[in-house]
Amino acid sequence: MSATTSIRIDQSLYNQAKADAAAEHRTISGQIEFWAKVGRAALDNPDLPVNFIAESLASMTEPREDATPFVPRSRLQ
């Protein structure tokens, strides 16, 4: 289990995190952690679109048995 730390954030950011957390089935702290990971990855990979980064990070948390197998386009035709 990882350690936790309390921080102060702007109320409007908290409210947005609360709304997004409910929509994404995360805790409020989990939503803020997700945003932080997306932001860090975006800074580390400026050539990648932020949506790609966010979707990639979100997919990494999905249970492996729920994953859709990759099928190359050449096999779809």
Structure tokens given for 34: 């997700």
Total structural domains within the chain: 1
Q: Is residue 22 part of a domain?
A: yes
Q: What percent of the chain has pLDDT over 90?
A: 68
The pTM of this model reads 0.72
Structure tokens given for 21: 């957390």
Give the pLDDT of residue 18.
Answer: 97
Q: Is residue 21 part of a domain?
A: yes
Give the pLDDT of residue 21.
Answer: 96
Q: Is residue 68 part of a domain?
A: no
Work out the widest C-alpha separation in the chain, in whole angstroms. Answer: 53
Q: Is residue 34 part of a domain?
A: yes
Query: 45 is in which domain, residue-wise?
Result: 11-61
Residue 12 banded pLDDT, cuts 50, 70, 90? very high
Structure tokens given for 1: 């289990």
Q: Is residue 74 part of a domain?
A: no
DSSP code, position 64: G
Q: Is residue 6 part of a domain?
A: no
Q: Is residue 4 part of a domain?
A: no
Q: Is residue 76 part of a domain?
A: no
Q: What value, to the nearest 5°, has the Cα angle with vertex 61 and ends 12 and 47? A: 70
